[in-house]
Homo-oligomer: A and B are copies of this chain.
Amino acid sequence: VVMDKPIGVFDSGVGGLTVVREIFRVLPSERVVYFGDTARVPYGTRSAETVRRYAAECAEVLYGHDIKMLVLACNTTSAVALTELREHTSVPVIGVVEPGACAAVAATGTGRIGVIGTTATVESNVYAATIGGLAREMRVFSRACPLFVPLAEEGLTEGPIPEQVAQHYLAPLLANQIDTLVLGCTHYPLLRDVIARVVGSDVRIVDSARATAENIVELLNSRSLRSPNGKEPRHAFLVTDAPRWFADLGQKFLGRGIGDVIRVETGCPVDGPANND
């Protein structure tokens, strides 16, 4: 039955595990198949065309696992590849941008919203466009924060270095008197404490990972796709490279141990996607 099928979650690397963490929290009975394209991470500096091609290849691997829905747990991919992916499948596809944008519109009082993310996400202007589509009077101020991803991956999430980097990036946004800040990159929840200290308690922080998990609940409910409560589900974690690096680093993002990580091939049509589960 469709209800018993897993939720497919795709990201370029480990960042999407912050979305999985929220899925585990609100949907403990759901089985997740995670796919991280670690051989080609990061997507944040790739061209839109390349990201679309990579995402389409990776989605095929997840469709091969007979998923009931696809979550793009990657802001860059959500920004540039969501529409095209939806056109080529009957499985529901959701990204992290729309939920984050909705949550920001709900959270703001003054209509002045800050958005931080990778260079690709910020340059795509996707948050401003999505927020503007929801409520025309909103003002959106964006800033790319390229050092946040390596700080999170390096585990440098407390102390003077991340604090100064956060100051460096966020001061111009604060000068624009935002009252809401969207964490528009799935790595950023690891830096949430530092970011919150720098922006102060008057600025609400919107975590798009959390907003996305709530969206998944709604979508599964509305289509009667919720897995019946029962035994502990068996999740699967697939990557295109460096499974040990992924398992080690991924713990910080998932908030618990990952277990086995399976390496699969993609990218070259002659080989075809390996299906190792």
Contact = CB atoms under 8 A, between A and B. Distances in A.
Interface of A: 38-41, 45-47, 50, 146-147, 149-151, 153-154, 156, 160-161, 164-165, 168, 241-242, 245, 267-270
Chain A interface helix/strand/loop/mixed: loop
A149 B50 CA distance: 22
Contacts of A151: 147
Contacts of A242: 45-47, 50
Contact of A270 (B164, B165, B269): B269
A267 B270 CA distance: 11
Pick the 6 closest A-B CB pairs, nearest first. A268-B268, A150-B150, A50-B241, A47-B242, A147-B150, A270-B270
Contacts of A164: 160-161, 164
Assembly stoichiometry (copies): 2
Contact of A147 (B40, B156, B245, B268): B156
A72 to B, nearest CB: 20
A241 B46 contact: yes
10 contacts: A38-B45, A39-B40, A40-B40, A46-B242, A147-B150, A147-B151, A150-B150, A267-B267, A268-B270, A269-B270
